[in-house]
């Protein structure tokens, strides 16, 4: 409930809670350095800061040390007993007791007033009292060691890559902060410090995603002393990317679901750019421009600091304070419009980009509407000619096989279960959707056939309620061409029909590569390894058995009955479901843009970095 589950994201959330308390201390000007160590076991972590140290004196009402109260009482964070201890931001501290309760072991060490104090806990309960372990201590600070509870979490192995990325982001959002990270398992050490703050962060994001900006200097705003003591940092740059990428934070903590600060920013962008275009007569007549057109290609960061943020959901993914929308919007709107007026070449470049987005949207909308499948009553009216549809009209029972090539399509049509299995053969070239606009995508016959068959629309018009098949199965040859087509189709689905993947409707079929006949028995092997395993088993049973081996050149060579027995029949086949685990969303996005994007050097880099993992290269 407090950390958003017991999976990998929940596990890492424990660390963010501890780190955020240390970062808070830095944001408030009391700490400058944070040390994070991932220990050799990969399952325990120490976080140290050089701030004031969590208070160790007796708590005024509870009569036990404040440190113990903080680590054992839910909600005993910055807000408890505001007269005594409140972080000047009043931001955090609530998480420490949650981390403690969910850890097999936690040790808190505090340096304060010339002494060092220590207290140990197991599963949230103190196993020692707070003890003074030295009285000649220099400096101040807090150190928390914790080992998450293996009985609670599905996995307790931390991911060094996720940790490194999150820590580095903290240093972009707090320019003065230094964070050192050591991975004891590998001996790797990193030092993060980004004086350039969010400007440097934006440049990093743009470079990392290999996005081409349409103007040089980004818009940067640091607005102090807004209403209610809030302050905000914003930076924006428009690019050629067909997407809008906003990264929003509250007090340096990511809000991946946005919220009122992000809405305020979006409103400001819309009114400032529209007003600039109006004033300078840059709006073409008869072209309707939407807020989405104005934000297309924008890469932006917004970091809001405020005293009492209210979040929706326990894991603080979305900011909920209604007053913030107007505060952020009016702070940004005026400044952004002034920026555009002072930098007319930038303003004009952005205006051109907006017009381009609006024109492309009108063109794609027309194209997307053309291929939308008709409603269920007339659903057979607008189907691609090559589709062999199934009899059932119940999506839950229906499956669509997207098959490479007409000859394999023919075998599949004969081997399928007519009632529930539909076959769509692909013949022509599948377009790389990563490098194309929606209009281009819809002009590609193969992809528009897929969209038409699925019936649920595409892009912002996608409606899963209209999806005709609840299993969409890619069936390709088990060779490099087959893999290539699968990759292109997955890229398309990821970019234009992502909810299909997110809801678990997309699968990959696994046709066998070998048929093995021995002692009147038939076996199917998926790959070389599978083949070796099966043949070894046969020989173990009887050394002299005659073994016949057949390698399929492609699905087209397979008899319809064979295809049915090995790949189509729900009772016998093995399908791979395509998923994007939460913890891998970012890496998935990066991999697709590097591997499938326009920039050939990014692809080269990806291949060189991953060459060790490739067993079977076909060039």
**φ, ψ of residue 183 in degrees (nearest 5):** -105, 105
Burial of 281-303, coded b for 16+ CB within 10 Å and e otherwise, reads ebbeeeeebeeebbbbbbbbbbb
**Burial class of 429 by CB neighbour count within 10 A (0 to 12, 13 to 18, 19+):** exposed
**φ, ψ of residue 319 in degrees (nearest 5):** -80, 140
Q: Catalytic: which of 262, 293, 477, 565?
A: 477
> Kindly report the CA angle at 166 between 209 and 503, in degrees rounded to 5?
70
Residue 404 appears among annotated catalytic residues? yes
Residue 408 tokens read as 């394999």
Name the minimum Å distance from CB 65 to ligand 1YM.
Answer: 11
Residues 227-246 that bind ligand 1YM (CB under 6 A): none
Place of tokens 């679901």: 257
Name the minimum Å distance from CB 323 to ligand 1YM.
Answer: 24
Tell me which of 27, 50, 72, 87 binds ligand 1YM, using CB under 6 A: 87
Q: What is the dihedral of CA 474, 480, 481, 482, to 10 degrees?
A: -10
Residue 477 appears among annotated catalytic residues? yes
Residue 86 in the binding site for ligand 1YM (CB under 6 A): yes
Of 25 and 244, nearer to ligand 1YM (C-beta) is 25
Q: Catalytic: which of 481, 528, 529, 537?
A: 481
Residue 481 appears among annotated catalytic residues? yes
Tell me which of 27, 44, 50, 66 binds ligand 1YM, using CB under 6 A: 66
Map residues 102-141 to x or -, x wherever contact with ligand 1YM holds by CB under 6 A.
----------------------------------------
Residues 138-197 that bind ligand 1YM (CB under 6 A): 142, 144
Long-range contacts of range 82-91, CB-CB < 8 Å, 24 or more positions apart? 84/60, 85/55, 87/24, 87/25, 87/28, 88/28, 89/24, 89/27, 89/28, 89/251, 89/305, 89/307, 90/307, 90/308, 91/24, 91/27, 91/251, 91/307, 91/309
Of 15 and 298, nearer to ligand 1YM (C-beta) is 15
Beta strand 219-223 pairing with 188-192: unpaired
Among 460, 458, 574, smallest CA distance to 512 is for 574
Residues 5-64 that bind ligand 1YM (CB under 6 A): 18, 21-22, 25, 47, 49, 51-52, 54-55
Residue 188 appears among annotated catalytic residues? no
Q: For ligand 1YM, how many residues bind (rule: CB under 6 A)?
A: 20
Residue 523 in the binding site for ligand 1YM (CB under 6 A): no
Options 84-92, 244-252, 558-566, 585-593: segment touching ligand 1YM (CB under 6 A): 84-92
Map residues 429-458 to x or -, x wherever contact with ligand 1YM holds by CB under 6 A.
------------------------------
Q: Catalytic: which of 24, 337, 404, 565?
A: 404
Name the minimum Å distance from CB 244 to ligand 1YM.
Answer: 35
Q: Report the helix count and the strand count for the chain, using DSSP H and E.
A: 18, 24
Of 8 and 52, nearer to ligand 1YM (C-beta) is 52
Helices marked H in 371-470: 406-415, 438-443, 445-454
Tell me which of 93, 197, 457, 511 binds ligand 1YM, using CB under 6 A: 93
Name the minimum Å distance from CB 66 to ligand 1YM.
Answer: 5
DSSP letter for each residue of 272-322:
HHHHHHHHTT-S-TT----HHHHHTTEEEEEEEE-SS--EETTTT-EE--T
Active-site residue list? 404, 477, 479, 481
Residue ranges binding ligand 1YM (CB under 6 A): 18, 21-22, 25, 47, 49, 51-52, 54-55, 66, 70, 77-78, 85-87, 93, 142, 144
């Amino acid at each position: 409930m407090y950390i958003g589950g017991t999976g990998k994201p929940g596990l890492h959330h424990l660390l963010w809670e501890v780190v955020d308390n240390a970062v808070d201390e830095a944001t408030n000007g009391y700490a400058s350095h944070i040390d994070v160590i991932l220990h050799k076991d990969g399952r325990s972590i120490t976080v140290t800061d050089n701030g004031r140290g969590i208070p160790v004196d007796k708590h005024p009402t509870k009569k036990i040390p404040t440190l113990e109260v903080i680590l054992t009482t839910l909600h005993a964070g910055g807000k408890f007993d505001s007269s005594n201890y409140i972080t000047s931001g009043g931001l955090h501290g609530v998480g420490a007791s949650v981390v403690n309760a969910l850890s097999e072991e936690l040790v808190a060490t505090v340096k304060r007033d010339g002494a060092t104090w220590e207290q140990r806990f197991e599963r949230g309960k103190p196993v020692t009292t707070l003890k003074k372990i030295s009285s000649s201590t220099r400096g101040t600070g807090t150190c928390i060691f914790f080992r998450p509870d293996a009985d609670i979490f599905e996995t307790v192995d931390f991911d060094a890559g996720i940790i490194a990325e999150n820590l580095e982001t903290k240093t972009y959002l707090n320019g003065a902060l230094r964070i050192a990270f050591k991975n004891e398992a590998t001996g790797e050490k990193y030092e993060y410090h980004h004086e350039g703050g969010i400007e440097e962060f934006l440049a990093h994001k743009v470079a990392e995603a290999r996005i081409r900006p349409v103007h040089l200097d980004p818009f940067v705003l640091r607005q102090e002393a807004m209403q209610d003591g809030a302050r905000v940092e914003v930076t924006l740059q428009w690019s050629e990317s067909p997407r809008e990428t906003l990264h929003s934070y509250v007090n340096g903590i990511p809000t991946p679901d946005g919220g009122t600060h992000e809405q305020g920013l979006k409103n400001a962008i819309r009114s400032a750019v529209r007003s600039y275009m109006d004033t300078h007569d840059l709006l073409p007549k008869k072209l309707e421009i939407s807020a989405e057109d104005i934000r297309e290609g924008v890469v932006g960061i917004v970091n809001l600091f405020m005293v009492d943020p209210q979040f929706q959901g326990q894991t603080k993914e979305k900011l909920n304070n209604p007053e913030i929308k107007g505060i952020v919007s009016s702070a940004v709107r005026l400044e952004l419009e002034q920026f555009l007026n002072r930098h007319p070449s930038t303003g004009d470049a952005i205006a051109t980009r907006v017009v381009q987005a609006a024109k492309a949207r009108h063109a794609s909308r027309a194209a997307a509407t053309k291929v939308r499948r008709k409603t269920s009553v007339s659903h057979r009216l607008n189907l691609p000619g090559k589709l062999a549809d199934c009899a059932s009209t119940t999506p839950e029972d229906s499956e669509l096989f997207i098959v490479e090539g007409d000859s394999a399509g023919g075998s599949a049509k004969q081997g399928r279960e007519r009632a529930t299995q539909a076959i769509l053969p692909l013949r022509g070239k599948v377009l790389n959707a990563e490098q194309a606009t929606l209009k281009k995508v819809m002009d590609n016959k193969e992809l528009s056939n897929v969209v038409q068959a699925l019936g649920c629309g595409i892009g912002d018009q996608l409606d899963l309620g209209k999806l005709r098949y609840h299993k969409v199965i890619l069936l390709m040859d088990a060779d490099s061409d087959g893999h290539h087509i699968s990759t292109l189709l997955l890229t398309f689905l990821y970019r234009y029909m992502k909810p299909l993947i997110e809801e678990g409707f997309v699968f990959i079929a696994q046709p066998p590569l070998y048929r093995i006949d021995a002692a009147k028995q038939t076996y199917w092997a998926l790959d070389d390894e599978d083949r070796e395993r099966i043949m070894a088993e046969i020989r173990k049973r009887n050394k002299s058995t005659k073994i016949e081996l057949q390698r399929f050149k492609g699905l087209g060579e397979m008899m319809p009955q064979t295809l049915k027995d090995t790949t189509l029949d729900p009772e016998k086949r093995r399908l791979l479901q395509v998923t994007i685990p939460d913890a891998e969303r970012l890496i998935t996005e990066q991999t697709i843009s590097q591997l499938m994007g326009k920039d050939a050097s990014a692809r080269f880099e990806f291949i060189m970095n991953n060459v060790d993992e490739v067993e079977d290269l076909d060039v």
